[in-house]
Amino acid sequence: MSTTMTETPKTTKLELRTAYGPVFRDVLSTPPRDCTPDEIPIIDLSPLYSDDLKDRVELAKTIKVAAVNTGFFYIKNHGIKEEVIADAKKQLLSFFKQSTEDKMKVTQSKSKYFNGYKGPRTTFISPGETVDVKETLGWRYSPQYDPIPKPLDAIPEEVKPWIRGEDFVWEGTSHLPGFKDEVLTYWASCLTLSRKLVKIFALSLDLEEDYFDSRTTYPGADGVFNYYPTTTEEEKAKNTVGLGSHTDLQLFTLLWQDMIGGLQVLNKDGQWIKAVPVEGTIVVNIGDFMMRLCNDKYKSTVHRVFNTSNVERVSMPFFFGLNFNCVEGVVPTCTSPENPPKYEPMSCGDWCQLRFKLESDEFKKKHGIAAQAPSALIVAA
Ligand SMILES: O=C(O)CCC(=O)C(=O)O
Ligand SMILES: [Fe+2]
């Protein structure tokens, strides 16, 4: 006897942290699989550099398709030189290979604005998963390093309180030859590319191409180095994350990842898919603030990292957003009487600050001891 039954796929609830409190997503229990080219396409960015508006509009259409679909895509021919990336990666390794004592010279506890070093297993981005195994070094926007020169005596008063870069990151790494120079060269290249790419995003949302230009003069431009050590057998058995499930906060992220793999993306069906490394590309993903601006038309996609390989993995994300003092709600082309704004205007700076603070407060609450001793291994999560 045979019976036909349609099996409903099993799902679990994934809790995500947002500045407004937890939200939940249904996730299929089927194991992660490689992404298809439709889900995370490789987009040739050459038209970004074309003088012909038609080319740029075509590119905007392609990006729009990816942005409404998974919210993740790879870019090739992006214009950032291979040697700039290689130098940054070399500096990343020279930083993380130091002794804990040397890394702690730039500990994030010295920072007012979440700059600096966070040791392994000291963050906890996803409430329902384990602590994050990764180590991180972060630095934020400083006008003196902007590739578009900014006379420091002409910074508008309303912008000043929102400048988040802090010099202790460069002072505490000055013993590493070429570090500041090569890291900032990479950061400046990411910033230049982002300012070009945001124009394409503007076109894709039927805005004037220069809509975001005046809104990104002193932008959110956070550089991060991530180092994922190998996970122990015990950690693997506990499904320990390199970096737990989260969305990024700003307009979009440029994410350079090495060839080790481990990045996973939650697709529209709630299936985890692997964003397999593609040589010569950078991953782009949409952040929460973009999703707010376009009234959910583009998705801020959940992603996470597992380093289950037997070697270290590194990545270099760059988070790009509006001027932190810029208060912005849903843009005019993304709302109508039938589609009223779902979000109140808010400054990008407040939005980021709210969530960073929430994450660090919750870590301290749940893992108080480890928070005081950042290099400590967490035994019970
Ligand atoms: O390491 C990666 O591939 C992803 C990093 C990431 O998602 C982040 O730092 O926000
Ligand atoms: Fe991320």
What DSSP line would sit under 179-240, residue for residue? HHHHHHHHHHHHHHHHHHHHHHHHHHTTS-TTTTGGGGSSEEEEEEEEEEPPPPHHHHHTT-
Q: Is the CB of 330 under 6 A from ligand 1?
A: no
Angle between helices 53-68 and 179-204 (to 10 degrees): 90
pLDDT by residue (tens digit) across 243-299? 999 999 999 999 999 999 999 999 999 999 999 999 999 999 999 999 999 999 998
CA of 20 to the centre of ligand 2 (A): 18
Atom of ligand 1 nearest to the CA of 226: 1
pLDDT band (50, 70, 90) for residue 376 = very low
**pTM here?**
0.92
Are residues 125 and 243 in contact, defined by beta-carbon separation less than 8 angstroms? yes
Q: Is the CB of 255 under 6 A from ligand 1?
A: yes
CA of 237 to the centre of ligand 2 (A): 24
Three-state SS annotation for 29-92: CCCCEECCCCCCCEEECHHHHCCCHHHHHHHHHHHHHHHHCCCEEEEECCCCCHHHHHHHHHHH
**Which ligand does the CA of 276 lie closest to?**
1
User: How is residue 123 annotated by DSSP?
Assistant: B
pLDDT on residue 18: 80
pLDDT by residue (tens digit) across 200-211? 999 999 999 999
Q: Is the CB of 315 under 6 A from ligand 1?
A: yes
Give the domain ranges of the chain: 26-367
Are residues 298 and 238 in contact, defined by beta-carbon separation less than 8 angstroms? no
pLDDT on residue 368: 53
**% of residues, the chain, pLDDT over 90:** 81
**Which ligand does the CA of 261 lie closest to?**
1
pLDDT band (50, 70, 90) for residue 196 = very high
CATH of domain 26-367: 2.60.120.330
pLDDT by residue (tens digit) across 287-343? 999 999 999 999 899 999 999 999 999 999 999 999 999 999 999 999 999 999 999
| Ligand 1 atom 9, closest CA | 317
Are residues 41 and 74 in contact, defined by beta-carbon separation less than 8 angstroms? yes
The ipTM is 0.99
Q: Is the CB of 226 under 6 A from ligand 1?
A: yes
**Which ligand does the CA of 222 lie closest to?**
1
Structure tokens at 20: 């407004």
Q: Is the CB of 125 under 6 A from ligand 1?
A: no
Atom of ligand 1 nearest to the CA of 248: 10
